[in-house]
Amino acid sequence: MSLDTLNIGVCGVGTVGLATMDILMRQAEVLEARSGKSMKLVHVGARREHPDHDYGDARVSRDVMALAEDPEIDVLVELIGGTSAAYDLIKRAIQQGKHIVTANKALIAEHGNELIALAEASGVQIRFEAAVAGGIPIIKALRESMAGNEVTEVAGIINGTGNFILTEMSTKGRAFDEVLAEAQSLGYAEADPTFDIDGTDAAHKLVILASLAFGVPLDIESPFKQGIDALTPEDLDYAAEMGYRVKHLGIARQQAAGIEVRVHPTLIPESKQLATVDGVLNAVMVTGSAVGELVLVGPGAGGPATASSVCADIVDIARSPLGSGPALGLPAASLNATALIASDDIASEWYVRLTVADRPGVMSNITQTLADRDISIESLVQKAPLSGQSEVPIVLLTHQTPGSVISEAIEEITGLPDVQSDYALLRVESFEH
Amino acid sequence: MSLDTLNIGVCGVGTVGLATMDILMRQAEVLEARSGKSMKLVHVGARREHPDHDYGDARVSRDVMALAEDPEIDVLVELIGGTSAAYDLIKRAIQQGKHIVTANKALIAEHGNELIALAEASGVQIRFEAAVAGGIPIIKALRESMAGNEVTEVAGIINGTGNFILTEMSTKGRAFDEVLAEAQSLGYAEADPTFDIDGTDAAHKLVILASLAFGVPLDIESPFKQGIDALTPEDLDYAAEMGYRVKHLGIARQQAAGIEVRVHPTLIPESKQLATVDGVLNAVMVTGSAVGELVLVGPGAGGPATASSVCADIVDIARSPLGSGPALGLPAASLNATALIASDDIASEWYVRLTVADRPGVMSNITQTLADRDISIESLVQKAPLSGQSEVPIVLLTHQTPGSVISEAIEEITGLPDVQSDYALLRVESFEH
């Protein structure tokens, strides 16, 4: 790296790549004033030709690996996504002494331990603010601002597509499939939205947050994962009537016995800040021993918003390559694996919806089954039958109950006469500390 | 500074000082892992004796200036407050080559330009995350995370005492004086709460935010300032009926003609994130060209929360003394003063409450006066008289109108027959970008 210039290579020319290059070129003067270095886009890796793109004076390579080998590049920005070519590219670039900035949550969640250790050994930085919650500076907050805290919990709405779908379902009573189709036509959801819907994308991000929060290695296997596809507008309505909102949350919590890492639809009290975060917004709540609760809200996706985080990482590296500390807040060798608490062993309150025949004795059988397992009921309401049906929904909230206990109870209850096999079972989190 | 140890001196042993020392002593191990340095509290400046305090192995001086002269200290933490002794202390400590961490908003707002320039010339760092919004990492967000953005607006609830009072008034209909007395008994408000009530404290913080946001020098004279003492529960109610919440906001906005810097009670739509921030919480919304809107919510005061920010600054310095960049995001010499837009010239929507005799012609005179000045009315409602009064309140919202124009109109209206001289006039901000 020259004293005065930081040479940048960008691989990937989608919306985030273009927005990043736009900032680098149009805001060159202020970036130099802020970082003390002239930022120069010298090389672009674009696997396809895009005649309309403006790369300024930068060289263009169709083979992105050419950027890993380019001796002129100080910082390689990886925005191609995926975990194969991006992995090879970043690994090689680190070996060639380049700093790395990436927005690739899957890659960091899956290969971050290896790549970060390699970067440390090579004396270069690897930064990934854009990988979690788009434009929200949650990585920096955890890595730097929480340094004086023992972090006990991170909980966030970290998939904008999922939150858009839930918001539409709950505010307009629309069905899941219909809103998903709209999200795709609006460009919020991918053509294959599986990872947004089944919680995989949120799980990748939560793995990164958990590592930063608790000083544990990245563990792609750790999250319990449940998506939003089984939710019905009725469940969102019933929850709202009881003063809750349903959000798809990633939750990582430090307990005496270990850590919980889980992604699932969750009822949260409408008075919590997270409950008010609607549409494609993301939000992350962090709880620390000193600061208490912090909530950061902002755009979780989109070219310019994500590029904002990419550029912040580049400026950090320009100001001081190793200055903002280890990538995960602690040196790779100081990360300590901690016991993982299985979802079955995690206690919480629960929302249960059952559908039953409207006959004497049904309710008594259900409540007896719960009582047999020491499951205490906080509220129980019989709802009006859905239109065209004779069976009636029963909605109940339990007090604290472990996952395994409530599952067994529901299995037994749905085997009772006059109780349908179809049910909804969702965790309730009040986040009272 | 030794390679392996960072020696810390703390001046001021109030709640923040004690909480800071507690973190430094109890979390020594993790702070060392995070920063790569052993943090050692070597010297405490306590102007009075506190037999119950535990300063570990640190020396104690009654004369805080002794810490500025202590050659062992690498980082001086100033938590004594005020702008005279603290100024002398910090200036001298910088001259002695010490890095500075402070929570002192008044000092930074008033003397920051000089002290920061001196620190730069001396090759030391001055950090003040705790000076604005307590535990919320808003300084770091603006200085580092927004580096790729042109910031166009910062708006925040940055005085917890004021927000507590407004929340109590609006949710419980309580009167200002009564809630203030409670805030004092709860320890939220100082014995002399003037600076919390009249907007001075928020103005100090806003001066710092404006400098970071727009790259302008700190200007203690810049904010237009209006407190919360003239607000009535009725105004908060009327605002709520129209879908607004009244919050005491600091707002700094970049316009083509210059910058607005102002602190005043403001009606904001209840759908905005800031509207949901109640009690002693603080929140800051930042709008940037790339990221769009970010909102950070958290505790704006309290010993441990503020100490969280103090410790983050210390760890930043330990990781890399100059790594996190210039104190205000740009080197002092690169800050550029910009024209200040006077409050009179700032257009906004307005909330107006008048009290009038319930007679024919009154309403017509009022609306004619507004029409004469091209002030367009968005809504106008005549309210029921307050108990025991025969006059009726009239509440109206205007469209965009400059401050000078609405003021003249109100002056003329309150001179009309059958209109009382008493009125309420508040800005409405929708924050639509």
CATH code of the domain covering residue B361: 3.30.70.260
Rounded-to-integer distance, Cα A311 and Cα B125, Å: 23
By the 10 Å C-beta count (0-12 exposed, 13-18 middle, 19+ buried), B236 is classed as buried
What pLDDT, in 10s, does the model give residues A183-197? 888 877 777 889 999
Q: In terms of domains, do B44 and B169 share one?
A: no
Q: Which residues of A touch B329 (CB under 8 A)?
A: 34
Checking if the pLDDT of A65 tops 80, the result is: yes
Rounded-to-integer distance, Cα B35 and Cα A329, Å: 9
Cβ contact, residue pair A311, B323, below 8 Å: no
Nearest to B311 among A129, A147, A329 (CB): A147
A307-311, B158-162, B183-187, B246-250: range with lowest mean pLDDT: B183-187
Q: What is the CATH number of the domain that holds B116?
A: 3.40.50.720
Q: In terms of domains, do A131 and A145 share one?
A: no
Does a structural domain hold residue A372? Answer: yes
Q: In terms of domains, do A56 and A125 share one?
A: yes
pTM of the model: 0.96
Rounded-to-integer distance, Cα A185 and Cα B209, Å: 39
Q: Which residues of A touch B23 (CB under 8 A)?
A: 148, 290
For residue B164, the model assigns a pLDDT of: 94
Does a structural domain hold residue B400? Answer: yes
- pLDDT-derived band at B417, boundaries 50, 70, 90: very high
Checking if the pLDDT of A18 tops 90, the result is: yes
What pLDDT, in 10s, does the model give residues B270-299? 999 999 999 999 999 999 999 999 999 999
Rounded-to-integer distance, Cα B73 and Cα B314, Å: 13
Residue range of the domain that includes A64: 5-135+305-334
Cβ contact, residue pair A135, B292, below 8 Å: yes
Nearest to A137 among B30, B141, B277 (CB): B141
Q: Report the gap between the CA of A183 and the closest CA in chain B (Å).
A: 20
Q: Is B205 among the catalytic positions? A: yes
What average pLDDT does this structure show over B88-108? 98
Q: Which helix (H) or strand (E) is B407 found in, with range?
A: helix B403-413
Alpha helix (H) residue ranges in A269-361: 303-319
B28 touches chain A (CB under 8 A): no
B160 touches chain A (CB under 8 A): no
Nearest to B323 among A294, A314, A320 (CB): A320
Nearest to A308 among B36, B288, B315 (CB): B288
For residue A2, the model assigns a pLDDT of: 57
Cβ contact, residue pair A145, B309, below 8 Å: yes
Cβ contact, residue pair B315, A325, below 8 Å: yes
Rounded-to-integer distance, Cα A126 and Cα A120, Å: 9
Cβ contact, residue pair B148, A33, below 8 Å: no
For residue B323, the model assigns a pLDDT of: 78
Q: In terms of domains, do B386 and B403 share one?
A: yes
Does a structural domain hold residue B96? Answer: yes
- pLDDT-derived band at A323, boundaries 50, 70, 90: confident
Does a structural domain hold residue B249? Answer: yes
Q: How many domains does chain B have?
A: 3
What pLDDT, in 10s, does the model give residues A278-303? 999 999 999 999 999 999 999 999 99
Rounded-to-integer distance, Cα B11 and Cα A357, Å: 71
B372 touches chain A (CB under 8 A): no
Q: In terms of domains, do B50 and B185 share one?
A: no
B160 with B306: CB under 8 angstroms?
Answer: no
Strand A392-398 to strand A347-356: parallel, antiparallel, or no bridges (unpaired)? antiparallel
Nearest to A295 among B144, B297, B307 (CB): B297
Q: In terms of domains, do B291 and B310 share one?
A: no
Cβ contact, residue pair A148, B31, below 8 Å: yes
Per-state percent for chain B, helix, strand, coil, to nearest 5: 40, 25, 35
For residue B3, the model assigns a pLDDT of: 67
A342 touches chain B (CB under 8 A): no
Cβ contact, residue pair A215, B273, below 8 Å: no
What average pLDDT does this structure show over B42-48? 96
Does a structural domain hold residue A40? Answer: yes
Rounded-to-integer distance, Cα B194 and Cα B90, Å: 26
- pLDDT-derived band at A347, boundaries 50, 70, 90: very high
Q: How many CB pairs under 8 A join A and B?
A: 205
| Cα dist from B265 to A19, B164, B301, whole Å | 37, 13, 20
Identify the DSSP state of B332. G
B149: nearest CA partner in chain A: A308
B34 touches chain A (CB under 8 A): yes
Does a structural domain hold residue B114? Answer: yes
Q: Report the gap between the CA of A30 and the closest CA in chain B (Å).
A: 8
A299 touches chain B (CB under 8 A): yes
Q: In terms of domains, do A111 and A221 share one?
A: no
Q: In terms of domains, do B188 and B313 share one?
A: no
What pLDDT, in 10s, does the model give residues B138-186? 999 999 999 999 999 999 999 999 999 999 999 998 999 999 999 888 8
What pLDDT, in 10s, does the model give residues A253-286? 999 999 999 999 999 999 999 999 999 999 999 9
Q: In terms of domains, do B154 and B260 share one?
A: yes
Cβ contact, residue pair A297, B298, below 8 Å: no
Does a structural domain hold residue A433? Answer: no
ipTM above 0.90, yes or no: yes
Checking if the pLDDT of B236 tops 70, the result is: yes
A335: nearest CA partner in chain B: B33
Nearest to A137 among B145, B302, B334 (CB): B145
* Residue type present at position A415: G
What average pLDDT does this structure show over A47-53? 91
For residue B304, the model assigns a pLDDT of: 97
Cβ contact, residue pair B291, A298, below 8 Å: yes
Q: In terms of domains, do A9 and A154 share one?
A: no
B293: nearest CA partner in chain A: A298
Q: What is the CATH number of the domain that holds B247?
A: 3.30.360.10
A144 touches chain B (CB under 8 A): yes
Q: In terms of domains, do A38 and A100 share one?
A: yes
B140 touches chain A (CB under 8 A): yes
What average pLDDT does this structure show over B190-206? 92
Mean pLDDT of chain A: 95
Query: Using DSSP, how many helices (H) and how many strands (E) does chain B show?
Result: 14, 17
Mean pLDDT of chain B: 95
What pLDDT, in 10s, does the model give residues A355-408? 999 888 999 999 999 999 999 999 999 988 888 888 999 999 999 999 999 999
Nearest to A298 among B150, B295, B307 (CB): B295
Cβ contact, residue pair B273, A305, below 8 Å: no
With a CB cutoff of 8 Å and minimum separation 6, the contacts of A274 are A155, A156, A157, A247, A249, A268, A283, A285, A295, A431
B273 touches chain A (CB under 8 A): yes
What average pLDDT does this structure show over A165-186? 91
Cβ contact, residue pair B273, A297, below 8 Å: yes
Q: Which residues of A touch B149 (CB under 8 A)?
A: 308
Q: Report the gap between the CA of B15 and the closest CA in chain A (Å).
A: 12
Q: Which residues of B touch A292 (CB under 8 A)?
A: 135, 298-299, 302, 304-305
For residue B93, the model assigns a pLDDT of: 98
The SS3 assignment for A306 reads: helix
Catalytic member of B37, B98, B140, B205: B205
More confident: B322 or A13: A13
Q: In terms of domains, do A63 and A162 share one?
A: no
More confident: A131 or A2: A131
More confident: B191 or A381: A381
Does a structural domain hold residue B340? Answer: no
